Structure 1
Amino acid sequence: MEESIYLMHTYNRFNIEMESGQGCYLKDTNGKEYLDLTSGIGVNCLGHNHPVLVDAIQKQVATLMECSNLYYSKPMADAAKKLVEYTGLSKVFFSNSGAEANEGMIKLARKYSYDKYGAGRDVIITLKQSFHGRTITTLKATGQDKFHQYYFPFTEGFDYAAANDIEDLKKVANEKTCAVMVELIQGESGVVPLDKEYVKAVEEFCHSKDILILVDEVQTGIGHTGTLFCFEQYNVLPDIVTTAKALGGGVPIGAVITGDKCKDTFGPGDHGSTFGGNPLSCKAADTVLSIVTEHGFLDHVKVVGAALKTGIENIHSDKIKEVRGIGLMLGIVVDPDKRADYVQAMMDKGLLTLTAGKDAIRLLPPLTLSLKEVDEALSIMKEVFE
């Protein structure tokens, strides 16, 4: 590919150039069509070229793309209102990406603690095997040693506790702890859901110490698990939530959503983002939220997700060790030495999948995936695994 001459080699790209997309399918420059179970790593939640989203974006482009955060815009207000009403939280800050949203959440948590308790109560506990972003600070927040190299010095102020072990969390927490930050499904580590009993225990412990509960829903948010946010299925109400990927349906945007405790923590000048909350990205987010919260949409995600998971579990092959996940965020555990071969074989047959962790094939299909398309995907998987 000519692009390899000019682009930094930060990705192990497949030797395919994608040209167009429609619904749950992508087409390359040779005219080959692929059923896309990646959705841009969880971004294209409405599939490709969704007519309502495309129309909304085109109209917004012709009206106003950016005007700076010195002024209000209706798309920004509309998207923020929907996020507040749907989550039961209080206020929103818009960013451009998931990592930037997580940076904002970290800053917000530390300022809340500083304002209330003074200096020295600034450590955030994250979970081992977590992943929170690619910036210097979010790399340090990530609970995996392999990310803590090359880019020294890292931002300090993070401790790490074992997932699903409340006693370990209590041992790690101390008078310097201001927040606990979790992914309810550890996506990059192999699509590993946290235990519900553990999450409730974390909530109870944090409430008893006025430690903030931060939930990173950059990947799980906006319907992938069958509810708008995954925390709804864990019966907890976080103090701060972040989301990004699917929020704009393909247009870059992230969001920090805070509850009552931190709703007034940031004042003018405490945080900002030149492009954050621009009318174009917020119009996309407002449109996505309107569609995903339509009656029956998330019920469809649950039904199709269950059909896909059950179908994979019913494939008669000892090559599949486990299927885990919730809704349309699934991981197929396989032999790590064979995983790349399976992904390539499915691609050759017209099915796009992802990888995560050491041994998982990750599936993050568009939320518009149909039962017919589930059958098509399962047919290809059977050919590869059986």
Structure 2
Amino acid sequence: MTNAPHPYDALMNITARPPTVFVKGDGAYLWDDSGKRYLDFMQGWAVNCLGHSPTIVADALAAQAKLLLTPSPAFFNGPSLKLANALVANSCFDQVFFTNSGAEANEGAIKLARKFGTLYKNGAHEIITFVGGFHGRTLATMSASGKKAFEPLFEPKVSGFPKAQLNDLDSVKRLISSKTVAVMLEPIQGEAGVWPATDQFLQELRALTQERGLLLIVDEIQTGMGRTGKLFHYEHAGIEPDIMTLGKGIGGGVPLAALLATEYASCFEHGDQGGTFNGNPLMCAAGLAVLEHVATPAFLKSAADAGLFLESELQKLSARHGLGEVRGRGLLLALDLKLPIGASIVAQAFSEGVLLNSPQPDALRFMPALNVSKEEIADMIECLDAILTKAGAARMVA
């Protein structure tokens, strides 16, 4: 007689998870099945832009669920039309295709660029991406990513993604050939440890792509929807890309993402792109509620102010403990630990009821809700300060 399987075993073991089971969320906090409360500075990797279970999203879902879940993507529906028009009105883009995940949006961006190359650039198909970039986990988006850990996986990769160095325009120029159709990048490389493209680099890259007749694709899945203090990060540099992808925060916690393009770049023909659940009214109703809230000047200013406060507190913490720089913008920040102690700090913080993220062994990444309060930031800093104090004392003893 075999032992009964553990309930965790029914899920594929694709990542290391603590045995904790979360059952409730509200704003900046999560509760597990034992009743323990956690202050969340990950928020689903920048997904819950308004915190856990925000009322406006819950109400939008409940109201739409009573009306229409999905009529099939073969027909128009009201929420997708409203959300698409709102995105167009708030950006430099003309058309929107909704998807279920950021990786799917990036896959669509790759397809759109290659279609553009087929139609207008003699079959050019290569898309220059960047070392350290992360664009998703489909086969094409893993190939487009510059993540070292992906290199040996699922060979053969999709070809056509030469890698440049972030903030090095010459490295981009060297890769441009008759096969090149586009350049694709994250304005801030989140998974690599929160490494920003400078505004000057983005401006020079936009000028270069226009000069060479190439599309510029910005992956704003992590930086979009107010995360860096403006609705979209490209606004900081004062540029207008040809294609943008959104995900994570656009749904406020539900699976929603989007591919946006200018009229110039929108070249899909019937049958080129689709998806059973893409643009369904339930998810789009949630997205519309999020956008209408986040896009207001007052909200964006409050998020930017919270980002400045968090950055200042992290800089003070770094100075106290002899750590490195604070990188990023708005409420997407990283603290350079100088040592590979990120995983240990994350584990200690978890035991203390604070959720942190270490995308690289020597860095912590902070992605709180955009409406995080100064008090919640102060509580996180206090917890982290205590952990770093213990770590410093332990090193001195050793």
Question: Shorter-normalised TM-score: what interval?
Answer: over 0.9
Report % sequence identity: 36
- Answer yes or no: is 1:67 the counterpart of 2:97: no
Indicate the residue corresponding to 1:118 in structure 2: 122
Judge conservation of contact 2:114–2:181 (CA < 8 Å) in 1.
Answer: yes
Indicate the residue corresponding to 2:54 in structure 1: 50
| 1:215-230 mapped onto 2 (5 Å cutoff) | 215-230=218-233
What is the distance in 2 between the residues matched to 1:220 and 1:192?
Answer: 12
Displacement of 1:110: 1.0
Displacement of 1:16: 1.3
What is the distance in 2 between the residues matched to 1:21 and 1:105?
Answer: 33
Judge conservation of contact 2:147–2:192 (CA < 8 Å) in 1.
Answer: no
What is the distance in 2 between the residues matched to 1:357 and 1:110?
Answer: 32
Indicate the residue corresponding to 2:277 in structure 1: 275
What is the distance in 1 between the residues matched to 2:232 and 2:7?
Answer: 37
Residue of structure 2 aligned with 1:176, choices 174, 179, 191 = 179
C-alpha deviations, 1:259-296, integer Å up to 9, x for none?
12113x01211111111100111011111001101240
C-alpha deviations, 1:45-98, integer Å up to 9, x for none?
111121121111011111111111111111000110111111121000011100
Judge conservation of contact 1:317–1:385 (CA < 8 Å) in 2.
Answer: no
More deviation, 354-363/293-302: 354-363
- Answer yes or no: is 1:192 the counterpart of 2:190: no
Displacement of 1:336: 4.4
Displacement of 1:319: 5.3
What is the distance in 1 between the residues matched to 2:361 and 2:241?
Answer: 29
Residue of structure 1 aligned with 2:153, choices 150, 164, 170 = 150
More deviation, 265-274/148-157: 148-157
Residue of structure 2 aligned with 1:130, choices 126, 129, 133 = 133
What is the distance in 2 between the residues matched to 1:2 and 1:46?
Answer: 34
Judge conservation of contact 2:342–2:360 (CA < 8 Å) in 1.
Answer: no
Indicate the residue corresponding to 2:268 in structure 1: 266
What is the distance in 2 between the residues matched to 1:196 and 1:82?
Answer: 26
- Answer yes or no: is 1:320 the counterpart of 2:317: no
What is the distance in 2 between the residues matched to 1:276 and 1:384?
Answer: 44
C-alpha deviations, 1:151-198, integer Å up to 9, x for none?
122111111111111111111111110000010000000011012211
Indicate the residue corresponding to 1:97 in structure 2: 101
Indicate the residue corresponding to 2:356 in structure 1: 353
Normalised by the length of structure 2, the TM-score is 0.94
Indicate the residue corresponding to 2:393 in structure 1: none
What is the distance in 2 between the residues matched to 1:30 and 1:46?
Answer: 25
Judge conservation of contact 1:179–1:213 (CA < 8 Å) in 2.
Answer: yes
The CA RMSD over aligned residues, in Å, is 1.3
Judge conservation of contact 1:308–1:374 (CA < 8 Å) in 2.
Answer: yes
Count of residue correspondences: 384
What is the distance in 1 between the residues matched to 2:148 and 2:347?
Answer: 28
> Secondary structure at 2:225's aligned position in 1?
coil
More deviation, 193-202/126-135: 193-202
> Secondary structure at 2:129's aligned position in 1?
strand
What is the distance in 2 between the residues matched to 1:25 and 1:176?
Answer: 49
| 1:17-36 mapped onto 2 (5 Å cutoff) | 17-36=21-40
> Secondary structure at 1:297's aligned position in 2?
helix
Amino acid at match of 1:349: E
More deviation, 181-190/309-318: 309-318
What is the distance in 2 between the residues matched to 1:176 and 1:144?
Answer: 23
Amino acid at match of 1:303: D
Displacement of 1:305: 0.8
What is the distance in 1 between the residues matched to 2:127 and 2:15?
Answer: 30
Indicate the residue corresponding to 1:80 in structure 2: 84
> Secondary structure at 2:61's aligned position in 1?
helix
Judge conservation of contact 2:24–2:31 (CA < 8 Å) in 1.
Answer: yes
Structure 1: where are the runs of 5+ without partners? none
Amino acid at match of 1:45: C
Structure 2: where are the runs of 5+ without partners? 390-398
What is the distance in 1 between the residues matched to 2:153 and 2:263?
Answer: 39
What is the distance in 2 between the residues matched to 1:104 and 1:40?
Answer: 23
Judge conservation of contact 1:226–1:326 (CA < 8 Å) in 2.
Answer: yes
Indicate the residue corresponding to 2:394 in structure 1: none
| 1:227-266 mapped onto 2 (5 Å cutoff) | 227-263=230-266, 265-266=267-268
Judge conservation of contact 1:84–1:90 (CA < 8 Å) in 2.
Answer: yes
| 1:300-311 mapped onto 2 (5 Å cutoff) | 300-311=302-313
Residue of structure 2 aligned with 1:299, choices 298, 301, 314 = 301
- Answer yes or no: is 1:12 the counterpart of 2:30: no
Displacement of 1:339: 1.3
Judge conservation of contact 1:189–1:358 (CA < 8 Å) in 2.
Answer: no
Amino acid at match of 2:380: A
Displacement of 1:335: 4.0
C-alpha deviations, 1:236-258, integer Å up to 9, x for none?
11100001111111110110000
Residue of structure 2 aligned with 1:212, choices 215, 223, 232 = 215
Displacement of 1:13: 0.6
What is the distance in 2 between the residues matched to 1:198 and 1:7?
Answer: 43
